[in-house]
Chains A and B, each alone.
Chain A
Amino acid sequence: NAGVTQTPKFRVLKTGQSMTLLCAQDMNHEYMYWYRQDPGMGLRLIHYSVGEGTTAKGEVPDGYNVSRLKKQNFLLGLESAAPSQTSVYFCASSVGGVGQFFGPGTRLTVL
């Protein structure tokens, strides 16, 4: 099992550009999450999904959109990137919220 994988690992964007981060899990988990990790701020939840076709806002959802068209995939989109979105993004998945499994992260820089 690959667990939770994230694509890409690194990305540099210019302000105003758009991009999509892909998260995939092969553990048949119902729940999936997107976090951002910033120095001094810890991990903060952006959006989450409790099942295929469902999404919900977390603590810091502004500027991001998500989709969960397939159970194994959870996409995070930035429509118009801003320097404040420079961060490390982590995807995680879980079964019934009992313990989370994390991906390796995507380091995003917005110039």
Chain B
Amino acid sequence: KQEVTQIPAALSVPEGENLVLNCSFTDSAIYNLQWFRQDPGKGLTSLLLIQSSQREQTSGRLNASLDKSSGRSTLYIAASQPGDSATYLCAVTRDNYGQNFVFGPGTRLSVLP
């Protein structure tokens, strides 16, 4: 059974710092990996989707990498801002149908002004 873990569970950094969030999964046979952001009391917003054949994806200040063989993904946030404060979740799926999406517990990020 696929298990997804995220380290750290919580992170507090000063504004302007670059940071890395980690996601690990036990079964490397994934189809894609997706990073989400969740603000308190809100739904999930998709940030980046990495197909299993890709190594990384970039969007603005965000860069996500994928190493299938080691079962790891990292989300790099450059020049963090207070508006980046949220919980970040990663999720993996092993096929093209989505029903096997497995989510990690999330990392709660606080960026202090």
A residues sitting closer than 8 Å to B (CB atoms) are 4, 31, 33, 40, 42-43, 45, 48, 50, 56, 58, 90, 92, 94, 96-105
Contacts and interface: CB of A to CB of B under 8 A. Distances in A.
Contacts of B36: 102
Contacts of A43: 44, 89, 91, 103
Given A100-B34, A103-B43, A105-B43, A42 B97 contact: no
Interface of B: 31-32, 34, 36, 41-46, 49, 89, 91, 93, 95-99, 101, 103-106
A15 to B, nearest CB: 25
Contacts of A58: 99
Task: Tell me if B's interface is mostly helix, strand, loop or mixed.
Answer: loop
Contact of B43 (A33, A50, A104): A104
A90 B96 contact: no
B97 A31 contact: yes
Contacts of B49: 98-99
Contacts of B106: 42
Given A101-B46, A102-B44, A103-B43, A45 B99 contact: yes
Nearest to B49: A99
A42 B43 contact: no
B43 A102 contact: yes
14 contacts: A43-B91, A45-B99, A45-B101, A48-B98, A50-B99, A96-B97, A96-B98, A97-B31, A98-B32, A98-B96, A100-B44, A102-B44, A103-B43, A105-B41
